[in-house]
Structures are given as structure tokens and as C-alpha cells.
Amino acid sequence: MKDSRATPLSNVSGMSSQRLTRRVAIANPEGFHLRPQRMFVECARKYPNCTVTLSLNEKRVNGKDLFDLMLLSVNKGTELTLEVTGPEAQAAIEELAAILAAESLDDGTTEPPSAEKGLIPTGVA
């Protein structure tokens, strides 16, 4: 994967490109199952200028590909590494982390992730 510091993305809406990484534990008792996975993909695709990846140990998958996400097989309590690169990385990572950290999606409401989840900006173009 290209380093965003070496290949700055185009400036969109006045925001500079950046690469953000956050570790988020899956809170849903059913694990990271198909419905939150689909929500995650649909959310990630709202950011066409961002790349989104999820990592678990040696597995690293495209966050915009549902078949990829299904390969992760993640139970409750497992921590994933979410990485977003692009001009809207900050907004995207907030939305995507909230989906991973939601305990339940059944009532249509999701709890936002706790304020501090170890945000690690690793580069600003």
C-alpha cells in the first residue's frame, strides 16, 4: 500500500489528506456479523476518495469489499485495526469506528464509540 505521505491525495473541501489508524474492539455480542459488515461497507463507500482497510493479525482486508470483510470472522471483544487514508479520513474513521464499536444495531440506533480509542494519525500530506 502506498504511503499517503509520499503520495498526497487531492485536496477535497479544503481538507488535506491524512492517514489515520484506530484500534476498535467489536462490542456486538454476535460478533462482526453480516449486517454490521454491510453497514460498514456502505459507509466506507460514501468516501470514494478514501481507502479503508481492516486488519486482524496477518489478515488485512479492503473495507469497501463485503466478501473481504466476511473473511475476518471476528467475535465480540476482538480488536481490529481500522486504517483510513484520504482527504476525509477524520470523518470516515469516526463513522466507521462507531459501527465497529456498536453493541447493537437492532433498534436502528448505535452508541457512539467511547471518546478515546487510541487515535494515531500517522501522516498528514
Partner 1 sequence: MRMSDFVVREAIIPELAATSKEGVIRELIESLHKAGYFKGGDLEDLVKAVMKREMLGSTGIGHGVAIPHTKHSFADRLIGTVGISRTGVAFDSLDGEPVYVFVLLISPQDRPGDHLRALENVSRSLRDDNFVRSLRKATTREAIWNLLEDLNQTT
Q: Min. distance of Cβ 5 from partner 1 in angstroms? A: 32
Q: Which of 2, 5, 71, 120 binds partner 1 (CB under 8 A)?
A: 71
Q: CA dihedral in degrees (40, 113, 76, 104; nearest 10)?
A: -70
Could you count the other beta carbons within 10 Å of the beta carbon of residue 9? 21
Q: Does 75 interact with partner 1 (rule: CB under 8 A)?
A: yes
In DSSP terms, 85 is beta-bridged to 19, 51
Q: Min. distance of Cβ 62 from partner 1 in angstroms? A: 12
Q: Does 70 interact with partner 1 (rule: CB under 8 A)?
A: yes
Q: Which of 46, 67, 112, 124 binds partner 1 (CB under 8 A)?
A: 67
Residues near 108 by beta carbon (within 8 Å), at least 6 away in sequence:
none
CA angle, residues 32, 36, 37, in degrees to nearest 5: 75
Q: Min. distance of Cβ 25 from partner 1 in angstroms? A: 15
Q: Which of 2, 5, 35, 46 binds partner 1 (CB under 8 A)?
A: 35
Q: Which of 27, 50, 74, 82 binds partner 1 (CB under 8 A)?
A: 74
Could you count the other beta carbons within 10 Å of the beta carbon of residue 25? 14
State yes or no: is 105 an active-site residue. Answer: no
Question: Which residues are known catalytic residues?
Answer: 33
